[in-house]
């Protein structure tokens, strides 16, 4: 399993229904797998603080200065198993 090289950042994925964040034991591949398993399209962010740092989420977006939006991922219904 690949860990993030910088523990002071993490990936955060969210949809209107679900969310998932990377941790020292859950890498980006697992975050994407989990979000696609939920079968909802989602946004992906790189958040410049550790995964266990408290922060606000507003309209499904992390409210942390320096957060980078990495994209919107549309899940093709019925293709994720």
In this structure, is residue 68 part of a structural domain? yes
In this structure, is residue 4 part of a structural domain? no
Residues 49, 55: contact at Cβ < 8 Å? yes
In this structure, is residue 5 part of a structural domain? no
**Could you read off the pLDDT of 26-53 as tens digits, one per residue?**
999 999 999 999 988 999 999 999 999 9
How many structural domains is the chain composed of?
1
pLDDT for the residue numbered 80: 46
In this structure, is residue 1 part of a structural domain? no
Q: Which domain holds residue 40?
A: 10-73
End-to-end CA distance of the chain: 21
Separation between Cα atoms, residue 2 and residue 18, nearest integer Å: 23
């Amino acid at each position: 399993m690949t860990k993030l090289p910088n523990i002071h950042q993490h990936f955060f994925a969210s949809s209107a229904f679900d969310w998932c964040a990377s941790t020292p034991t859950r890498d980006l591949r697992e975050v994407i797998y989990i979000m696609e398993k939920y079968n909802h399209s989602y946004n992906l962010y790189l958040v410049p603080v550790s995964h266990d740092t408290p922060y606000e989420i507003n309209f499904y977006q992390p409210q942390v200065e320096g957060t980078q939006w990495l994209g919107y991922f549309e899940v093709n219904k019925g293709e994720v198993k």
